[in-house]
Amino acid sequence: MKFFIDTANLDQIREANELGVLDGVTTNPSLMAKEGIKGVENCNRHYVEICSIVKGDVSAEVIATDYESMIKEGTALATLHPNIVVKVPCIADGIKAIKYFSEKGIRTNCTLIFSPGQALLAAKAGATYVSPFVGRLDDIASDGIELVEKIVDMFNYYGFETQVLAASIRSTQHIIQCIEAGADVATCPLSAIKGLLNHPLTDSGLQKFLADHKKVNS
Ligand code: G3P
């Protein structure tokens, strides 16, 4: 399973990248706003900066919600860097735009996926990725991981090449569940990725190794 980091924060992107296991980045308008980045020029500069840090796909989301404007905006985003993936919301004009982009060889990430039917439409339109939102379904007492499993099964059954990119990941446990569900990618906060490292037996085992080494070497 590939690891993407779900942030527009350059320090966090650098830190995750330095671990050596980062495969890409996802952003969204809320994450860009959180970093105080406003205006098209600044957003574009920021996407290019992210692409210069990470060797992998970087999702940049369109703000437009009508077909013509999505095409214009997405085409401009795709020209910023070869690793840019145009992120498009799962609405009717978004599905049409994904179809257009896929025919032009522009890669897409269909976002705000909350049902297998939405994922099916995005895959049929030729999306490179679909992003089911795990945490937001859990927030409303639904089961986000179950949706990931259903989409993975459906894509395998019908042979779709679209990758399942589990998004709205909130915890280390979610990452483990995404692996079990067969997600192609999980896009995660840095804290959840770092949480994978934690195990008390690793810490106590290392302390014992070092103490035993010191006994005979001092
Ligand atoms: O990029 C979309 C996404 O991962 C949203 O996460 O935590 O705002 O539900 P969250």
pTM reported for the whole predicted model: 0.95
| Residue minimizing CA distance to atom 4 of ligand 1 | 168
185 lines ligand 1 (CB under 6 A): no
pLDDT of residue 31: 98
pLDDT of residue 210: 98
Probe ligand 1: pick from 30, 130, 142, 193, max atoms within 8 Å of CB?
A: 30
How far does the centroid of ligand 1 lie from the alpha carbon of residue 142, in Å?
Answer: 16
- For the CA of 87, the closest atom of ligand 1 is 1
How far does the centroid of ligand 1 lie from the alpha carbon of residue 169, in Å?
Answer: 7
Classify burial at 61, counting beta carbons within 10 Å of its beta carbon; exposed 0-12, middle 13-18, buried 19 or more: buried
| Residue minimizing CA distance to atom 7 of ligand 1 | 168
Q: What is the 3-state secondary structure (H, E, C) of 142-155?
A: CCHHHHHHHHHHHH
167 lines ligand 1 (CB under 6 A): yes
Going from the C-alpha of 59 to that of each of 118, 126, 141, 181, the distances in angstroms are 19, 16, 28, 23
pLDDT averaged per 10 residues, the chain (length 218): 98 97 97 97 98 98 98 98 98 98 98 98 98 98 98 98 98 98 97 96 98 96
Annotated catalytic residue within 34, 55, 72, 87: 87
Please list, in sequence order, all residues whose beta carbon lies within 8 angstroms of the beta carbon of residue 90, skipping any fewer than 6 positions away: 110, 111, 112, 113, 118, 121, 122
6 lines ligand 1 (CB under 6 A): yes
Classify burial at 48, counting beta carbons within 10 Å of its beta carbon; exposed 0-12, middle 13-18, buried 19 or more: middle
pLDDT of residue 70: 98
Any catalytic annotation for residue 72? no
133 lines ligand 1 (CB under 6 A): yes
Question: Which of 214, 217, 88 is closest to 162 using CA atoms?
Answer: 88
**Beta strand extents in 7-152 (DSSP E only):** 24-26, 57-61, 84-89, 108-113, 129-132
| Residue minimizing CA distance to atom 10 of ligand 1 | 168
